Amino acid sequence: MRSPSEVVFFDDTIPALQMLQRIFKLFIVTNQQGIAEGKLTPEEVDGVHEFILGRLAQFGIQIEQVYCCPHRRADGCECIKPNLFFLQEAERAHGIDLRGSFVFGDHPHDVEFARKAGATGIYLLTGHGVKHCAELQADVPIAANLWEAASAAVKGCDIRKRPEELGDEITQAAAILRQGGVVAFPTETVYGLGANAFDAGAVARVFEIKQRPRFDPLIVHVADQAHAESVVSSFPEKAKALAQRFWPGPLTLVLPKSDYVPGIVTAGLSSVAVRMPDHPKALALIREAGIPLAAPSANPFGRISPTRADHVRKHLGEQVDMVIDGGPCQWGIESTVISLAGEEPALLRLGALPMDEVTRVMGREMRLNTNAAHPSAPGQLPQHYAPRTPLVLRKDAHWRPNEERVGLLCFRSPHASEGFAAVEVLSPTGDLREAAANLFAMLHRLDAMNLDSIVTEYVPDKGLGLAINDRIRRAIMSGVGAETERNYPG
């Protein structure tokens, strides 16, 4: 190629390289025999390379180095592919682990080059097509395009150094995720049901297991800021300020989505929800898997969220490939969801974040859109978090429905608990944090007792109490109008 005007990028080049560079360092290794043959000048070749690097840089893609052999094969130079010269150079100068590396190329030399270095070569059909396929060994992976090759590398890579504290459990779970499996994992809010966010098939399984309607998008969980930026197309300043203050933590940001997050993750929306969970096992898992995890809460759709590994095992059990036990969740209530994808910032879900801190960072107060007919987030249906047992609001401190076996879920120690078959107290001392952490676990416990109904009450409507009351309200709504409830999935 003589001039930049001849360079053509495939549609998938940019997203594939963006995905790859989250995990890999990127290099170009090229043989340009035309230089030795006098058909091209070194300046022309440099000009093309500069153009390509500049274009990729516009998309945040950094190529560590372009290695170019200008000789003829007959010259017997050391640097022509498939000789290892440049790979060894990269190993030495950039600390590359060749055994964990990949070479993508459209010529059998590239695959041979990889094999000799102990790396994995993937043959691409985008260049010479099937022309050279017959020259390949039978076990050489062949990809239709760069995206397919990049996905395979990201799913199959096993190159990141394992932190010392990482147990076998995390390694095993990460391998399951890379192979398209589904793993339930702990976060500081509730347990999540995770799959590789780049693997539409794996994400489809999450929807099936949860019996979640496809119009309800998932949160993409990441382990660092760079990871987060790889799934969005822009990261506005306000979002950065929130992320800086609250990540890792119970903040979910809805931002414009990058093209290569599959539509199934975002239910076809042009925005994507991203969050960096604050749990050592969740972070270790995402890092070890090397991919962002699309994960909803690990409960059947519409039901109570899980705050213990046992809740997941009981309700989703066999369908999940693995459940990582991280003990009881610290917050017990989901993340706060804030959208910065629209014209105005919007609070889509109340959650574990302190809203006065959010107000301080945002420089303005944000209120939840409580219009039930038009939920602000697709998943914010008025009915949610439902126990199977009808949940009703306590009319006054002495009220009890006229039924045999009634449970009571109250905020502080109850004034009148006589006659109830079971009593759960969210926080005897009136601590809202303790109440949030106990809410779902206590609902799960009461729901397992075959009661006729459960009576509950609101907690003080301030701080975390706002999010707790939101959950209680939705759980009660689920029991209002038997028809609505019966038709409700999950």
Stretch that binds Mg ion, among 4-12, 211-219, 227-235, 289-297 (CB under 5 A): 289-297
Q: Is 66 exposed, middle or buried (0-12, 13-18, 19+ CB in 10 A)?
A: middle
Helix or strand holding residue 433 (H, E): helix 432-447
Nearest distance in Å: CB 112, ligand TXA: 44
Q: Which residue's CB is nearer to ligand TXA, number 227 or number 275?
A: 275
* 330 makes contact with ligand TXA (CB under 6 A): no
DSSP, res 404: S
Q: Which of 61, 295, 323, 432 binds ligand TXA (CB under 6 A)?
A: 295
Touching ligand TXA, residues 140-199 (CB under 6 A): 187, 189-190, 192
Interface with ligand TXA, residue 252, by CB under 6 A: yes
380 binds Mg ion (CB under 5 A): no
| Residue placing its CB nearer to ligand TXA in the complex, 217 or 387 | 217
Q: What's phi and psi for 405, nearest 5 deg?
A: -110, 100
CB of 130 to Mg ion, least distance (A): 46
The residue within the footprint of ligand TXA, chosen from 44, 91, 216, 431 (CB under 6 A), is 216
Among 120, 297, 389, 478, which residue sits at the site for ligand TXA (rule: CB under 6 A)? Answer: 297
Query: CA–CA separation, 430 vs 199, rounded Å?
Result: 44
> Is residue 297 part of the contact set for Mg ion (CB under 5 A)?
yes
Nearer to ligand TXA, 153 or 304 (CB): 304
Amino acid at 112: E
Query: Please, what is the angle between helix 355-362 and helix 237-246, to 10°?
Result: 140
**How far apart are the C-alpha atoms of 125 and 106, rounded to whole Å?**
6
* Contact call for residue 380 and ligand TXA (CB under 6 A): yes
Could you say whether residue 272 binds ligand TXA (CB under 6 A)?
yes
DSSP 360-384: HHHTS---B---TTS-SSTT--SS-
Instruction: Give yes or no for residue 204 binding ligand TXA (CB under 6 A).
Output: no
293 binds ligand TXA (CB under 6 A): no
Nearer to ligand TXA, 216 or 431 (CB): 216
Q: Could you tell me the smallest distance in angstroms from the CB atom of residue 316 to ligand TXA?
A: 13
Question: Token match 């779970």: residue?
Answer: 173
Query: What Cα–Cα distance (Å) separates residue 483 from each residue in 212, 368, 450, 489?
Result: 19, 27, 21, 12
CB-nearer residue toward Mg ion: 31 or 297: 297
206 binds ligand TXA (CB under 6 A): no
Pick what 307 binds: ligand TXA, Mg ion, none; C-beta below 5 to 8 Å, kind-dependent: none
Per DSSP, the residues of 35-77 read: HHTTSS-HHHHHHHHHHHHHHHHHTT--EEEEEEE-S-GGGT-
Q: DSSP assignment of 180-218, as one string?
A: T--EEE--SSS-EEEEETT-HHHHHHHHHHHT--TTS--
In the range 395-454, which residues lie near Mg ion by CB under 5 A?
none
Residue closer to Mg ion, measured from CB, 271 or 297:
297
CB atoms within 10 A of CB 280: 16
Q: Is 256 in the site for ligand TXA (CB under 6 A)?
A: no
Q: Counting contacts by CB under 5 A, is residue 478 touching Mg ion?
A: no
Please give the residue whose beta carbon sits closest to Mg ion in the complex. 297
Q: Which two tokens stand for residue 21?
A: 């560079």
Interface with ligand TXA in residues 397-456 (CB under 6 A): none
Total residues contacting ligand TXA by CB under 6 A comes to 30
Assess contact for 468 and 439: CB atoms under 8 A: yes
Closer CB to ligand TXA, residue 33 or residue 258? Answer: 258
Of 154, 381, 378, 382, which is closest to residue 271 (Cα–Cα)?
Answer: 378
How near is the Cβ of 462 to Mg ion at its closest, in Å? 24
CB 3 within 8 A of CB 40: no
Q: How far is the CB of 154 from ligand TXA (least distance, A)?
A: 22
Q: Measure the CA–CA gap between 302 and 78, rounded to whole angstroms.
A: 64
Instruction: Give me 47's structure tokens.
Output: 């000009």
Residue 121 partner contact from ligand TXA, Mg ion, none using kind-dependent CB cut-offs of 5 to 8 Å: none
Q: Which is nearer to ligand TXA, 80 or 182 (CB)?
A: 182
Rank residues 278 and 447 by Cβ distance to ligand TXA and give the closer one.
Answer: 278
* Dist CA 38 CA 31 (whole Å): 14
- Furthest-apart CA pair in the chain: how many Å? 97
If binding is defined by CB under 6 A, does position 219 make contact with ligand TXA?
yes
Residues forming the site for Mg ion (CB under 5 A): 297
Residues forming the site for ligand TXA (CB under 6 A): 187, 189-190, 192, 216-219, 250, 252, 254, 266, 269, 271-273, 275, 277, 295-297, 334-335, 337, 348-349, 377-380
